[in-house]
Structures are given as structure tokens and as C-alpha cells.
Structure 1
Amino acid sequence: MTNAINTDSSGANEAQIPPDWLAEFEAASKRPLETRFRYSFIHTYKPVLDDEPYRSFDTMEDYRRWCEENLPDWLG
């Protein structure tokens, strides 16, 4: 097993995988699938969106206006 990645077909440009990344990958690959799934989904709190169980709007225009007025820019 090699820890280099060829970036082109000639193999001229190789990027070394950092040893700690490689060790993490190898350790993860040995875990049971159920465990890998459990660790792969990370909940990120989304302000305003996560504060209510649901919202409904009469029109798409109402929804877009609400988003524009209430959501932080980084939520898109």
C-alpha cells in the first residue's frame, strides 16, 4: 500500500497523504458499518431554522420573503 496519490496519468505530480490522515482512514475502514454511519452524520445547529419544528407558507413568495428577513446570509 502506498500513501501517494497520482494527480495525472504519468504519475509526475504526487501528493503525499499526511500520515495522521492515513491512520484515521485505516482505523475508520476497520470499524463496523453501523459505527461508521453513526460517526459520519454531524448535526450543525442552524439558527432560526432549527428553532421551530416546522413552518408553512401560503406562497413561495411568502417563503422567500421570510427567508430574506429572518435567515443569516450564510444559510443561503
Structure 2
Amino acid sequence: MEQDELKDFRQQCERNLKRSVAERMRYGFCYVYKPVLDDAPWRSFDSTAAYRKWCCDNLPKYLGYGEPDSA
């Protein structure tokens, strides 16, 4: 890091340490809508195999669920 970047980073850390825990929790997480997963309040499966099959059949690949691609 350049000196200016390092100084700015330190100042940012100091500002963040002055925040309350509630503020850190509020701003520390970024909610991103996940299609299908966020469309129901909850789901229940009889087995892990059933859950994995549901993931493969219903979720977009970019969410990272399902079987890895064979190389």
C-alpha cells in the first residue's frame, strides 16, 4: 500500500472503532437477494439427498449450489 492509502485505511479503522456494536452490525452486512432461496420463509427436507436434489433442480448455478462441473 502507498503511504496515503495506509493513512486513509488507519483513519477509516479508527472511525469504525468509534461506532457502537449496533451500528457495526447494521452497516457490516450487505443483504443480497438470492432468487428462489429468499422466496419462501423456510423449507424442510426429509434428507440431505432430497435437499441437494432440490438445489440442483431449482437454484441458479451462480449461487454455488449443486454438483461441481466435471473437468
Structure 1 and Structure 2 fold alike (TM over 0.5): yes
1:51 Cα deviation (Å)? 0.4
Equivalent residue number for residue 31 of structure 1: 19
> How many residues end up aligned between the 2 structures?
62
Counterpart check, 1:40 vs 2:28: yes
Unaligned runs of at least 5 residues, structure 1: 1-14
Q: TM-score, normalised by structure 1?
A: 0.63
SS, match of residue 41 in structure 2: coil
Greater percentage in helix: 2
In structure 2, stretches of 5+ residues that fail to align are 65-71
Higher relative contact order (CA 8 A, sep 6+): 2
Give % identity.
Answer: 47
Instruction: Find the counterpart in structure 1 of residue 62 from structure 2.
Output: 74
* Greater strand share, structure number: 1
Consecutive aligned runs of 4 or more in structure 1 exceeding 4 Å deviation? none
Instruction: Indicate the RMSD between aligned Cα atoms, in angstroms.
Output: 2.0
Question: TM-score with structure 2 length normalisation?
Answer: 0.67
